[in-house]
Chains A and B, each alone.
Chain A
């Protein structure tokens, strides 16, 4: 019996049994158009990245596109101990932020999806509204709040960053959980399973793609943030990579080569995270979709 699932943005828990592997004929106009489209868009997308890669190995790097004077010095210069420390701080900050955002969002998302609570509609709307609040108006009250309590350090700043991702994550996870059929739980409830059990053993595994997507979002949000650590962290040994990046814009000197190489180093952890997680749940990501044909 195929399970009819209303999807908003969620993959089905399993491929519907009646789904047919459509193998289109070798060359059709449709295929040609698709491939050409992909090619054109692919070129447009990679264009800016080409500069980044070329500049990172250029000893005379500049903002213009030029054939590089090859060197690896940019990487060795950029990878000094202070900058590597900053990368490590970025990892810690983003992990904490992702955790602080995702775990409460999962718990609360379950309630918003399944349970009845008074004023659910307005509450959800209010949370969505928070997702649109700009960082700049939050920063001063938060600074004063944290400064007064000696919280001007890495962990509190990470927690704050996590909280700023919470509304989005809650909303994403709630939508994914909406797609999980309620029948799954009803049988468990009849077996006297506790809420935590149901959540942990049934709902979360099924909604894992959504939770994973939300977690990645929270991680990326924290990873790229410059303003919050700049304002909320006073110890320079705790500053993350975006702030260290500014070190390459000295008072009168801009070291483009190091900027490019550091940018690449700075992008790699996120890429690894993304690749790792995308293998984990094969439902909703296009890379694995490609493997399945």
Chain B
């Protein structure tokens, strides 16, 4: 054996050891290990940046809940898994956490939006048997409770809700000779008001309604979804046939509404509407005082107060009014609003189901529920909490108003294909916004062909 060969061999051994050591060293950085001092570890996962109005408020709220819980249960430590990033990142990271038993959380804050998928994955524990001990449960309207009801089982409890209406700029209305307070009864009323604004103050945006695919399917509940809910056929998923509606009079009415806005010049500049953060930018845009009417959500009210400052607009109550978005012909229930929000669930593989439930009870306790709603930009699901002064007076006069919209708000389907349907819908509204000249039929075709392509012809239907 030559000397070089021996050296080479030793080199090889060293190299192999070095590689192995680096991998083993990584072991020491592992998270999620069990507590060493004998306490039970309760894993709680939540969105750290996207869910509450600011990340600091999220840390504050969860910290308070954890402290209260640990005080009542001295043998338990709460271990948080905060998930950064936007809505999609939260959903993806949560599903990865649940997929692997060693990282599955005991308590998770999940969006209502895809609950059907979560339930069918087998990741969540039904909580039916615990509900009788929840004093707030009966205070939640049935339609809101149904957000977590799938196949006869409840997979979580509602944490906070979003409702939507019409925001309007009162000084601009007075200048145009429109009534303040404003209560339109039909879509025609809304468009007539927009026409008057456009005639008297052409430099402002008459009616702000976002669309297009940049904001994702999560944005639909804040813009076009509300209109669809108020149209002749609000149905998105036909549960009788098991098919997704890709063409209906209601859809056409909604798209026609978009087209009117675009053609008559009522709509906002394209860069605002087609912006990925259009929904989040609106509070700031409204504060700039050049938008007359906007279809928007309840959380703008909480954005303008001093604790959030997104942006600070303490003058808002004197300038912005809020009213219900009417149904197209004023048909019952007289107004339309999409419903969305967040809920708290228990992991199916948890070893501490009762503790997890106890944690949720602390989180849902009235003070905490109201704080969550104020800091998260929600309406509390419990009607008692929604009428409590701590909530009402946080951002008057809007809180009371948006809470009233809760009972008749409509939830969007929470199953997997909704993201596909939503993308198709967004493509259609985006097409009209960018190119008002196209016909409503052409826009419907954009939606129809995309959804049929992705889901298959047997899963879609047209309502005549």
Contacts and interface: CB of A to CB of B under 8 A. Distances in A.
Q: Do chains A and B touch in the complex (CB under 8 A)?
A: yes
B22 interface: yes
Interface string B426-445: 00000000000000000000
A117 interface: no
Nearest to B2: A192
Contacts of A152: 30-32, 103
B22 A252 contact: no
Contact of B84 (A62, A196, A230, A253): A230
A128 interface: no
B51 interface: yes
A250 B25 contact: no
B99 A154 contact: no
A253 B53 contact: yes
Contact of A253 (B33, B96, B283): B283
B238 to A, nearest CB: 32
B377 A156 contact: no
A144 interface: yes
A37 interface: no
Contacts of B33: 150
Interface string B53-74: 1110000000000000000000
A151 B96 contact: no
Contact of A150 (B51, B92, B102, B277): B102
A42 interface: no
Interface string A13-56: 00000000000000000000000000000000000000000000
A285 interface: no
A250 B303 CA distance: 11
A230 B30 contact: no
Interface in A166-207: 192, 194-196
A148 B281 contact: no
A137 B4 CA distance: 43
B48 interface: yes
Contacts of B407: none
B464 interface: no
Contacts of A208: none
A118 interface: no
Contact of B49 (A107, A155, A195, A249): A249
Given A247-B55, A252-B279, A147 B103 contact: yes
A231 interface: yes
B25 A155 contact: yes
A251 B280 contact: yes
B116 interface: no
B22 A150 contact: no
B100 A253 contact: no
A250 B54 contact: yes
Interface stretch (A2-10, A65-73, A235-243, A273-281): A235-243
Nearest to A100: B22
A75 interface: no
Contact of A151 (B27, B84, B277, B279): B27
A140 B96 contact: yes
A249 B96 CA distance: 23
Interface residues of A, number: 38
Contact of B280 (A150, A159, A243, A253): A253
B7 A159 contact: no
A194 B7 contact: yes
A149 interface: yes
A287 interface: no
B79 to A, nearest CB: 10
A234 interface: yes
A195 B53 contact: no
B296 to A, nearest CB: 11
A153 interface: yes
B96 A143 contact: yes
Range of interface residues on chain B?
Answer: 35 or more
Contacts of B424: none
Contacts of B13: none
Contacts of B29: 151, 153-156, 238
B82 interface: yes
A150 B32 contact: yes
Nearest to A147: B100
A209 to B, nearest CB: 25
B50 interface: yes
A159 B26 contact: yes
Nearest to A244: B84
A238 B85 CA distance: 15
Given A150-B31, A152-B103, A234-B103, A247 B49 contact: yes
Interface string B159-201: 0000000000000000000000000000000000000000000
Interface in B12-31: 15, 22-23, 25-31
A150 B28 CA distance: 9
A153 B30 CA distance: 6
Given A140-B96, A152-B103, A231-B96, A250 B50 contact: yes
B352 interface: no
Contacts of B84: 230, 236, 239, 243-244, 246-247
Contacts of B48: 236, 247
Contacts of B376: 251
Nearest to B87: A251
B457 interface: no
A119 B49 CA distance: 50
A154 B376 CA distance: 30
Interface of A: 62, 100, 107, 140, 143-144, 147-156, 159, 192, 194-196, 230-231, 234-236, 238-239, 243-244, 246-247, 249-254
26 contacts: A140-B96, A150-B30, A152-B32, A155-B26, A156-B29, A192-B3, A194-B4, A195-B4, A195-B7, A195-B11, A196-B7, A234-B31, A236-B82, A247-B49, A247-B55, A249-B50, A249-B86, A250-B49, A250-B54, A250-B280, A251-B49, A251-B50, A252-B299, A252-B310, A252-B377, A253-B283
Among all A-B residue pairs, the 9 with the closest Cβ atoms: A150-B30, A153-B29, A253-B310, A147-B100, A156-B26, A155-B29, A252-B280, A155-B26, A234-B31
